[in-house]
C-alpha cells in the first residue's frame, strides 16, 4: 500500500507538471520575453508546489532522470524505480491528453524540438541542463538541515535551466514530460523524442556519479583533517 501511494503521488505530480507548465508554454507562448519568462517560472512553481505537497510521500521526483539518479545512488530499489517510471509516464500522458482536450494540439502541447535540427547539439544541451538540475536536487536533499528549503531550491533551479534552455530545445530535462506531449503531437516531435529521453537519463546518471565522486573526496579530506 505504501508503494502504491508513492506511485499515485508521482502520477499526480507529473500530471500537474505537464498540464500546468507545458500548458503555460502553449497558452502564453515563448515568442516574447514575458511569455518566455512566464513559462520558465511556471515550471519552477509547479515543482515548488508539488515538492511541498507530495514530497513527503514520494520524494517528488516526477522525472525519470531524477529517479534514475536516485537508483544509481542506491536511494531507491529497482522495484520502486520501475513503479516510479511507469507512474511518471502515465501522469505525463494524462496531463498532455487533458491539455489537448482543452486547447487542441495545433500549438504543440509544449513538445520539445531539436536545436537547429541538430541531434548532437540537442543531446549536449539537454545533458548539461539535466546534469545541473539533478546535481542540485541531489545536493539539496542530501542533508536533513536543507529539507525545509529543498523544494524552493529545486524549483528555482528548474526555472534557471528553463530560462537558459528554452531557446535551444524548449528544455526537457525530463523524459516523461517530453514523451507525453510528443505522443499526441506526433510528427517530428514524436520522431525526435528519443533525444529527450536519452539525454536527460545520461545527464541524471552523470550528476549521480559526479556527486558520489565529489562527496567521497570531501569525506576523505574531512577525515584527514581530523
Note the pLDDT tens digit of each residue in 75-89.
Answer: 999 999 999 999 999
| Spatial distance between the Cα atoms of 182 and 22, rounded to a whole number of angstroms | 12
* Cα separation, 116 vs 196, whole angstroms: 15
Measured distance CA(156)–CA(6) in Å, rounded: 24
Percent of the chain with pLDDT over 90: 89
What's the pLDDT band for 164 if we cut at 50, 70, 90? very high
Give the model's pLDDT for residue 28: 95
CA distance 76 to 62: 14
Cα separation of 44 and 165, whole Å? 13
**Structure-block grid coordinates of residue 188:** 517530428
| Mean per-residue pLDDT, 109-121 | 97
Compare 160 and 224 and report the one with higher pLDDT: 160
- Whether 22 and 96 have beta carbons less than 8 Å apart is answered as yes
pLDDT at 220: 55
Statement: residue 219 has pLDDT above 90: no
Residue 218 is predicted with a pLDDT of 55
Determine how many CB atoms are found less than 10 A away from the CB of residue 136: 19
The whole-angstrom separation of Cα 13 and Cα 88 is 8
**Average pLDDT of every residue of the chain:** 94
pLDDT tens column, 125-144: 999 999 999 999 999 999 88
Average pLDDT over residues 179-197: 97
Instruction: Tell how far CA 156 is from the center of its chain.
Output: 13
Burial of 162 (0-12, 13-18, 19+ CB in 10 A): buried
State mean pLDDT over 208-218. Answer: 87
Length of the chain, please? 226
At residue 157 the predicted structure's pLDDT band, cuts being 50, 70 and 90, is very high
Q: Model confidence at 146, in pLDDT bands (50, 70, 90)?
A: confident
Domain positions in the chain = 2-221
Cell numbers of 53, please?
505537497
Residue 39 buriedness (CB in 10 A; 0-12 / 13-18 / 19+) = buried
The mean per-residue pLDDT over the stretch 59-73 comes to 97
- With residue 201 as reference, give the H or E element that holds it: helix 195-225
pLDDT (0 to 100) of residue 145: 82
Band of residue 147 on the pLDDT scale cut at 50, 70, 90 = confident
Report d(CA 182, CA 92) in Å as an integer. 10
Residue 140 φ/ψ region, left for φ over 0, alpha for ψ in the -120 to 50 degree band, beta for the rest: alpha
Q: For 7-64, what is each residue's pLDDT tens digit?
A: 999 999 999 999 999 999 999 999 999 999 999 999 999 999 999 999 999 999 999 9
d(CA 187, CA 34) in angstroms, rounded, equals 29
- CATH 1.20.1080.10 for the 2-221 domain, yes or no: yes
Amino acid at each position: 500500500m505504501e508503494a502504491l501511494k508513492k506511485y499515485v503521488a508521482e502520477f499526480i505530480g507529473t500530471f500537474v507538471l505537464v498540464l500546468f507548465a507545458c500548458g503555460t508554454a502553449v497558452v502564453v507562448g515563448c515568442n516574447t520575453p514575458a511569455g518566455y519568462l512566464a513559462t520558465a517560472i511556471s515550471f519552477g512553481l509547479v515543482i515548488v508546489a508539488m515538492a511541498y505537497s507530495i514530497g513527503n510521500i514520494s520524494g517528488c521526483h516526477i522525472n525519470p532522470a531524477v529517479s534514475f539518479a536516485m537508483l544509481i545512488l542506491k536511494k531507491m530499489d529497482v522495484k520502486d524505480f520501475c513503479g516510479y517510471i511507469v507512474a511518471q509516464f502515465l501522469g505525463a500522458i494524462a496531463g498532455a491528453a487533458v491539455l489537448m482536450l482543452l486547447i487542441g494540439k495545433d500549438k504543440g502541447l509544449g513538445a520539445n524540438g531539436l536545436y537547429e535540427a541538430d541531434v548532437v547539439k540537442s543531446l549536449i544541451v539537454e545533458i548539461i541542463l539535466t546534469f545541473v538540475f539533478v546535481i542540485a536536487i541531489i545536493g539539496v536533499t542530501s542533508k536533513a538541515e536543507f529539507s525545509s528549503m529543498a523544494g524552493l531550491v529545486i524549483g528555482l533551479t528548474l526555472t534557471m535551466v528553463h530560462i537558459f534552455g528554452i531557446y535551444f530545445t524548449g528544455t526537457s530535462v525530463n523524459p516523461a514530460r517530453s514523451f507525453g506531449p510528443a505522443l499526441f503531437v506526433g510528427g517530428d516531435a514524436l520522431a525526435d523524442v528519443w533525444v529527450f529521453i536519452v539525454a536527460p537519463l545520461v545527464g541524471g546518471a552523470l550528476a549521480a556519479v559526479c556527486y558520489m565522486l565529489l562527496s567521497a573526496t570531501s569525506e576523505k579530506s574531512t577525515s584527514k583533517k581530523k
